[in-house]
Chains A and B, each alone.
Chain A
Amino acid sequence: MTGKQRKQIWNAFQLTLILIATFIMLVPIVWIFLAAFKTHVDVYQLKLFFRPTLENFGTVFDDPYRLGEKLYNSTIVALVTVVFAIPIATCAAYSFSRFRLRGETTMLVMILATQFVPAVVIILPFFVMFRDIGLLDTRLGLILVNLAIVMPFAIWMIKGFIDGIPLDTEEAAMVDGSSRIQVIRNIVLPMAAPGLLTAAIFCFIIAWNEFLFALILTNKDAVTLPIGLALFKGEEGDLWNLLSAAGIIIMAPMFVLALIIRKYFVQGMTMGAVR
């Protein structure tokens, strides 16, 4: 066997592996896509060809499921979380990146360490606390919880992007006549913009998909989409076609965001100095 042949075989082998992996990952999604357009009858058969219907998407918004409310809750909770998380995290990240703070490393490690605590461990104290101050089953409560979840992640991620901005550039702006605030507004924010956008999208996704806290801390008014999925377990068993339609509604923003991220994530990662 020549070296070239060996390389071709190796490439084919790699490609096969990738295809198999992709297939395994995509099967559930494809299944959901098909099921969402099937009738209650068709859904139990593995038919690839059937008469598609949009009926499921209507049903999930009607009584008793009322997915619209959950969609509204999810949107508000995720958006408000991001709107607060990114500016606060940017301030924190800038300070960590540019100033020598007392106990800087300790703080950074502790921020990260909060991520190591399993959610199930702290969910009970949260429940008790929220019950006592009346935050149970409120969107505000969920927003606070989600902020706690995404902030460490956002701070670390944005710090990485700001670290990538050469100090020279900021110092040049200061000598050119900018105050610290002007440096941040005119230089740091525009240069870190792809990074901030990437962080915002990641935070949105995390908040959007958050399940455990929403499950325990809400029951009626503030229920979010992932919890809403549980509604489709009726007396007659699992309503797979409705479940799938709701699943697509949950996933839809993810697809859009994934496309945006693909463009900016790379840009954010490779952004750097002009020497």
Chain B
Amino acid sequence: MAEVILKNLTKRWGDFVGVDNQSLDIHDKEFLVLLGPSGCGKTTTMRMIAGLEEPTSGEIWIGERKVNDDLPKDRDVAMVFQNYGLYPHMTIFDNIAYPLKVRGTPKADIRPRVERAAEQVELTQFLGRKPKALSGGQRQRVALARAIVRTPKVFLMDEPLSNLDAKLRVTMRAELKHLSRELKVTTVYVTHDQIEAMTLADRVAVMKHGVIQQLGTPDEIYNDPANLFVAGFIGSPAMNLVRGSVKDGHFITVDGVRLSTIASEDRNEVILGVRADDINVHEAGAGDIDTPIYAFENTGEASFLTVVWGDQRVIARGDRHLRKEQDDVVGLTLNPDHLYLFDPATERRIHL
């Protein structure tokens, strides 16, 4: 078990910057999620930690040791690949046993350890099969079992759930969480799925264009976003972002609608952030702003009302029993305790 430290880590291919001078301290036993849209450098970061990609500059430390010049096999990490990277010519037993065998574990120790790992991911009855004869979810478990059969210093997981169907993903997510809290090994987990990040992580590093935008607990990332990108990326539906200005303690949209009181001095150009949850839906006249509905959607567990403010669409979340039609007028009230302001020029958060 060990902490992982990245110091000014950079990866460039020619002119293209994959990871841009990033530093990150991953604590011992921590479950850290690298979250970001596709192509932002998450996999590259992870592959550099594993030793599969050579950094252009910067340092990687695992435990007390600088591992920049170590081969993957000498870094004592275990990795779950996005496509699992199973050995198709070996049985499931041999797949799981491979890390033990190749590291010279005594033969007598191998069988019980493989069986225990298989048990932990409920694969016991498939040990004699080849990977081809398993479903996607089962293959995913094999990859997981192969990682947990040893106790490495660090687990690395690259979108391990992304190839599963939606339902299985939810089940496996819970199993993964259970397993990770049981094993208590430092873990770096890559995903573009913010729900996975929110549910699994001790801390999340949100990345964009090879740069970490914010590092914090899921709570901090969600409730205290550092900039427009994080605010817009985290949460489903995404945080509403409305352009306007602040005058006399009120936020006013570009076309002059007074949305809410806000504890801020006067500002000319700002962006207001408000989550769908923090817009309360009332009957017409009973809220602060009467607005016609642009679209009404009912998902069963909630209803979502899209309205147009200024030049932007805004989504409010209503009660699951709420029934409205398009063009009906509703009264909306913003919760003044949960409003965010951003500077459109720097895209940074303006703390109130």
Contacts and interface: CB of A to CB of B under 8 A. Distances in A.
The answer to whether A and B interact is yes
Interface of A: 166, 168-169, 171-179, 182, 186-187, 190-191, 273-275
Interface residues of B, number: 30
A241 B87 CA distance: 54
Interface of B: 50-52, 71-73, 75, 77-79, 81-89, 98-99, 102-103, 131-132, 136, 139, 146, 156, 163
Contacts of A273: 83, 88
Given A168-B82, A168-B84, A177-B103, 9 more contacts: A169-B86, A171-B72, A172-B79, A174-B71, A175-B78, A177-B73, A177-B102, A178-B73, A186-B102
B102 A175 contact: no
Contact of B78 (A166, A176, A186, A187): A176
B73 A169 contact: no
Nearest to B52: A171
Contact of B163 (A166, A176, A275): A275
Contact of B139 (A176, A187, A274): A274
Contacts of B89: 190-191
Interface centre among B79, B139, B146 (most CB of A within 10 A): B79
Contact of B72 (A168, A175, A187, A274): A175
Contacts of B103: 177
A177 B52 contact: no
A171 B85 contact: yes
Contact of B81 (A172, A182, A190): A172
22 contacts: A168-B83, A168-B84, A168-B85, A169-B85, A169-B86, A169-B87, A171-B79, A172-B79, A172-B84, A172-B85, A172-B87, A173-B98, A174-B72, A175-B72, A175-B73, A176-B99, A179-B73, A186-B102, A190-B89, A191-B89, A274-B84, A274-B86
Contacts of A182: 102
Contacts of A179: 71, 73
A173 B79 contact: no
Contacts of A173: 87, 98, 102
Given A175-B52, A175-B72, A177-B103, A275 B83 contact: yes
B157 to A, nearest CB: 12
Closest 5 CB pairs of A and B: A172-B85, A168-B85, A176-B99, A274-B88, A174-B72
Contacts of B79: 171-172, 175
Contacts of B85: 166, 168-169, 171-172
B83 A166 contact: yes
Given A171-B81, A274-B132, A178 B102 contact: yes
Nearest to B99: A176
Contacts of A190: 89
B273 to A, nearest CB: 39
A187 B77 CA distance: 19
B303 to A, nearest CB: 38
A275 B146 contact: no
Nearest to B149: A176
Contacts of B50: 171, 175
Interface centre among A166, A172, A274 (most CB of B within 10 A): A172
A98 to B, nearest CB: 13
A195 to B, nearest CB: 13
A246 B50 CA distance: 61
B88 A191 contact: yes
B131 A274 contact: yes
